[in-house]
Structure 1
């Protein structure tokens, strides 16, 4: 008799966390469709969600622990793998001290990536948490907190104007950080619905993205010059008295200093830098200043620049000046379900500072360049645990990464696939798919903070194991089991949800369970701001104390400095990179369903540049920078600016064509002085037909 059931879950393949209804036949996933009752997607699914079945049953999946030998990787048992990992970690601590262990994690698209090996690091005694934070989200959050104390989210329902700046939500399906926008439709229709309601939509982006195409206005800014635009807009708001004088008077500090500071940053000055006409800059500033409420949605385009943190401070100033902070239809603090935190603060055993803490004191994690420099200095031998990440393709300066990782005493990778990073490991441990273990996701919204459960739907394929079980087993071998409140995936979820009073048994097929009441606004009237002054800080004494500019000043992007004229002549074009809608970061390019939709990496070239270089649509071309080169297929399009080529990011794993890692084009020797962010999205280059 056929056993067929449909179960409710959530997708864990990107940050959106869409609801899914999954059909299971005889213990196997047979079909997947979107859950119309889930607020995150209202029944829609992107191609990645549809391809989940391909992901689970991919021929490339890792199903056994793998240990590197002289003859290549060899399958071993879990007993051998866990003993080997514990032995190497124990020896590392004994010889080099607890701070010799580094955890490298990726973007927490699932909470497995957020939480894995956090407690082990604390119990081991190492404060050295590293990852992609310097390239994604955290530089912006660091800046937001310096201005407001807490990072706000866009409240689209009830707004009258939307500015998407450095973000492409139609391509990422992400309209907020953790907030769900359900009142203007799902991620496919939100912009169209907003415009139909008369909401003005502006997109500021060097590339005419999917979001830009749907907007009322696309503003093609010169990459890396967003701070110049923000300062000029501030200039207009203040000069033309378009700011909220009552909010500024009662709830901000440093306005007089800001007013004097931006006098020189006129729209005419900014036009020469951003290549946006001064009249257009004034128009955007006037519309944003006179249309209340309005929202600004920032994006990842800011993080991968050498002035990203200060740029984000200036963008936050725009929200504050217009009084759009925590007001309905502005940028607000939505309710959030309180959860447990890892590592458990009561069980932290740090005895030294994290790597680079003195160099980047305002940033909460190890910045990428600092990590590589520290390993290469060889002052001590380091070990690395890589979880939910692929640093070999994510970080700038690919050759430096390879050299640094070759110096490690021990490297362990948890992944579903033998990625470019996994190839460098001493030990690879197979992770389960999204349907083979328990998980959960917290969301915020106007209606309240809520939780969705990701139940275990099928048994893990092969010998794949959840991080919680792996981590606990290694911790037990190192004598640290007493620090753990969980030993498997279900116990981990229950522990994290403990402050909500919920367990995995409380969901019972529900798409969501609310853990807070609905949103309220103007909370600063009661709680003030979480900054040292308890107000919005235009002028930051904290930044000044740490040797950073207390008010943002425009400087040329470091990616474009230190060039002699002869070298510059060899690389007449600028380059940037883009993510593709069909994929997430460096994942899923080995899945047949997605490969049919987007077979290989493209480089976008403006028709004027294509003509000058004798390039036609579909030609294989080489993009060369002083740091590396890639070979991709040309896409001739006016969706980029003349002089700017746009290479697809995320390729370069073993199953991809060679010479396709776009980050090999970027400089890794310059960075944001606050976050350590490298200019992955800005480089000089040239382009030519390959084998013309």
Structure 2
């Protein structure tokens, strides 16, 4: 099924159906697959690179024919893909050829329209305006925002340092910052899970089957074949239930109470690893005292989970330790959702410590990452490290609060922003509020492929080549064996006036008068980073994914905390003015069912990521075919409201409203409704807005004081039939 001919919605649906079937059966090896396609004649090349469908950056082989994208398959050696490619990865290979791409630099006109501008003029005007802002307000008024990809964070950080600014932001507070804060200040980092060798696993709000890491899905399937038990604690039956043994429908926002009750049972019944706690724990007695009152009976009243179920799960965790864990999740209930999410993450980290499972087979492991090198400062001088305080310094436990940017713009702290490979107007806060803030900047430069909602309010839009048309910075994948991976150019430029990001950053730096810090090519930077590993750039380009023979050892865990131990009593939290031990804290808002209120939940969809993929008509065709944008509601509740399958409702919160068709199901808690995340949008050019609303349209602009998260599920909504 070559992509060089007519590629229709029907063709894509057939292709993705085949991919799904192959994934369920176990795909053929790449060599076998390659031989099977030998009947296709032509100028065929196979190039290893990395997918751009989500933050996993799975290793993929992209096959081209006559210089055009033809096929894609997974690289078996890459730990994220393990030879598989999900629907997102299949659909996004068409990105270079999409008609809505930006093909030349654009400048916003006084009436809000855009006109083309040359690269030379764009760089010159941006540099002049930036110098004026720096002279008037100082370096602290400038910032850089990107997805947390190595390419953009490295170049963005260097550009900001060259300008004297400390303000480098990623999308973390819209995703997993609360989890990261909780784990990092408890055990020193976020570990991975040895899924394949575990005997008992609890996933709280984690949906491996749709927030896809293909390698983890394979590991989970293998673990189940070996008899492992898998418990899903989730208000909704997510698609991982196909590989689970138990679903625990919990009242949304109460996961902290559930985890504290598990800790209570493990300690009270002596099911925890006392030797591990004595050797590696700090302040255990404070935590043990705190959880004395968090009984299963107490938790049942809050969570709706029967005390017998809480006892069963706690006892099975204890019985199967250390080959048992609560998964560190990604976002889920303790990523960026509630005011208690950071403490939920802390409690999860501590229950795993009670199980003594850190650095144990079948438990949680801290992998190693490649020890990359850096540029020779004698040849390529590095800018001095900024000494100014960040504009988001009031969050001392995290140091990167992208959700605070609109407030910092409106307060006058930020005057100029460079935004790359992300769409913060739509992804971080309430979009209407964010758009108002970003539009008021004195300089906003967007580096993008499409006219995103952020690009629409930018002063300059600089068109980047797609991920299949560029080389990027080498990146490391941590794990039991560290991996070096590289995204590299697969095809020539489709649009001659587009540029790769590193060239854009070089042009911006030169125009701003700091070009001396960018006197190297991307190849020179990559070669310098690889040098300590004994790898050549040519070798990495040839293989795409290189597994280093530097295995991390199981056994003795090391915790990168101030005390060097698992901090049951957190010194960092205490110093920041927060409770040093996790304790029960309810969500900020508890919907009242008697008033017809629900909690609006959202989650990842198997064939979409954020608003990036809703620019892709082939992936949107899956939304149409499977009615993927419907609002889930408990069937019995819906019938009492007079709703039938497919009825339209208006969903209202204190911050906004949206319309969607309903899907009636028994597979969701009666006190909440659920919608998949990527739909809606404010953009004139965003095809996703013809579907259901974006959940973010309804999110009030409130930030968690611990992690800076936008608390994107901590509010109530009402439903009204249209």
Structure-2-length-normalised TM-score: 0.87
1:418 partnered with 2:451: yes
Q: Distance in 2 between matches of 1:339 and 1:286?
A: 43
Give the aligned partner of residue 54 of structure 1.
Answer: 94
1:634 partnered with 2:669: no
Give the aligned partner of residue 625 of structure 1.
Answer: 653
Deviations 1:561-582 (A, max 9, x none): 9xxx9xx865522211122111
CA contact (8 A) 1:367 1:675 kept: no
Q: Distance in 1 between matches of 2:587 and 2:564?
A: 32
Q: Distance in 1 between matches of 2:218 and 2:57?
A: 17
Shift in Å, 1:216: 0.4
Q: Distance in 1 between matches of 2:168 and 2:589?
A: 26
Q: Match of 1:598, SS?
A: helix
Q: Distance in 2 between matches of 1:130 and 1:35?
A: 31
Query: 1:139 is matched with which residue: 168, 178, 181?
Result: 178
**Change in 2 beyond 3 A, CA 1:168/1:381:** closer
Q: Distance in 2 between matches of 1:225 and 1:649?
A: 21
Most deviating of 152-161 and 30-39: 30-39
Query: 1:348 is matched with which residue: 365, 368, 384?
Result: 384
1:672 partnered with 2:701: no
CA contact (8 A) 1:606 1:637 kept: yes
Matches within 5 A, 1:504-523: 504-507=537-540, 509-523=542-556
Query: 1:199 is matched with which residue: 218, 223, 228?
Result: 228
Q: Match of 1:442, SS?
A: strand
Matches within 5 A, 1:588-603: 588-599=613-624, 601-603=629-631
Matches within 5 A, 1:16-55: 16-36=56-76, 38-55=78-95
Q: Distance in 1 between matches of 2:376 and 2:718?
A: 47
**Change in 2 beyond 3 A, CA 1:138/1:161:** same
Matches within 5 A, 1:517-532: 517-524=550-557, 528-532=558-562
Q: Distance in 2 between matches of 1:152 and 1:256?
A: 24
Q: Which runs of 5+ in 2 are unaligned?
A: 1-40
Q: Distance in 1 between matches of 2:182 and 2:671?
A: 31
**Change in 2 beyond 3 A, CA 1:61/1:242:** same
**Change in 2 beyond 3 A, CA 1:307/1:355:** same
Deviations 1:132-187 (A, max 9, x none): 22232232222212112232111123221222222111112227xxxxxxxxxx45
CA contact (8 A) 1:571 1:684 kept: no
CA contact (8 A) 1:229 1:281 kept: yes
Give the aligned partner of residue 579 of structure 1.
Answer: 604
Give the aligned partner of residue 437 of structure 1.
Answer: 470
Q: Distance in 1 between matches of 2:230 and 2:399?
A: 34
Q: Match of 1:288, SS?
A: helix
Shift in Å, 1:657: 2.7
CA contact (8 A) 2:59 2:545 kept: no
CA contact (8 A) 1:615 1:688 kept: no
Shift in Å, 1:587: 1.4
Give the aligned partner of residue 506 of structure 2.
Answer: 472
CA contact (8 A) 2:631 2:674 kept: yes
CA contact (8 A) 1:443 1:451 kept: yes
Q: Distance in 2 between matches of 1:278 and 1:485?
A: 64
**Change in 2 beyond 3 A, CA 1:36/1:531:** closer
Query: 2:169 is matched with which residue: 125, 130, 137?
Result: 130
Shift in Å, 1:13: 1.9
Give the aligned partner of residue 17 of structure 2.
Answer: none
Query: 1:259 is matched with which residue: 273, 285, 288?
Result: 288
Most deviating of 320-329 and 589-598: 589-598
**Change in 2 beyond 3 A, CA 1:157/1:572:** closer
Query: 2:208 is matched with which residue: 150, 155, 169?
Result: 169
Matches within 5 A, 1:560-571: 560=590, 571=596
CA contact (8 A) 1:191 1:215 kept: no
CA contact (8 A) 2:611 2:688 kept: no
1:281 partnered with 2:310: yes
Give the aligned partner of residue 481 of structure 1.
Answer: 515
1:366 partnered with 2:401: yes
Query: 1:299 is matched with which residue: 324, 330, 338?
Result: 330
Q: Distance in 1 between matches of 2:430 and 2:50?
A: 36
Query: Size of the alignment, in residue pairs?
Result: 664
Shift in Å, 1:436: 0.8
Q: Match of 1:276, SS?
A: coil
Shift in Å, 1:28: 1.8
Shift in Å, 1:495: 4.1
**Change in 2 beyond 3 A, CA 1:280/1:494:** same
Give the aligned partner of residue 33 of structure 2.
Answer: none
CA contact (8 A) 2:196 2:219 kept: no
1:684 partnered with 2:712: no
Q: Distance in 1 between matches of 2:395 and 2:478?
A: 30
Q: Which runs of 5+ in 1 are unaligned?
A: 176-185
Give the aligned partner of residue 315 of structure 1.
Answer: 348
Most deviating of 584-593 and 651-660: 651-660
CA contact (8 A) 1:485 1:492 kept: no
Q: Distance in 2 between matches of 1:157 and 1:554?
A: 32
Give the aligned partner of residue 26 of structure 2.
Answer: none
Most deviating of 219-228 and 127-136: 127-136
1:546 partnered with 2:579: no
Matches within 5 A, 1:643-654: 643-651=671-679, 652=681, 653=683, 654=686
Deviations 1:549-605 (A, max 9, x none): 0011111111339xxx9xx86552221112211111221113222122112622111
CA contact (8 A) 1:44 1:188 kept: no
Give the aligned partner of residue 300 of structure 2.
Answer: 271
**Change in 2 beyond 3 A, CA 1:523/1:64:** farther
1:84 partnered with 2:125: yes
Q: Distance in 2 between matches of 1:551 and 1:628?
A: 36
Give the aligned partner of residue 181 of structure 1.
Answer: none
1:338 partnered with 2:371: yes
Shift in Å, 1:397: 2.5
Q: Match of 1:6, SS?
A: strand
Structure-1-length-normalised TM-score: 0.91
Q: Distance in 1 between matches of 2:453 and 2:573?
A: 38
Give the aligned partner of residue 104 of structure 1.
Answer: 145
CA contact (8 A) 1:306 1:558 kept: yes
Give the aligned partner of residue 248 of structure 2.
Answer: 219
Q: Match of 2:687, SS?
A: coil
**Change in 2 beyond 3 A, CA 1:66/1:620:** same
Q: Distance in 2 between matches of 1:343 and 1:278?
A: 61
Give the aligned partner of residue 394 of structure 1.
Answer: 427
Q: Match of 1:412, SS?
A: strand
Shift in Å, 1:209: 0.6
**Change in 2 beyond 3 A, CA 1:346/1:441:** closer
Give the aligned partner of residue 325 of structure 1.
Answer: 358
CA contact (8 A) 1:354 1:366 kept: no
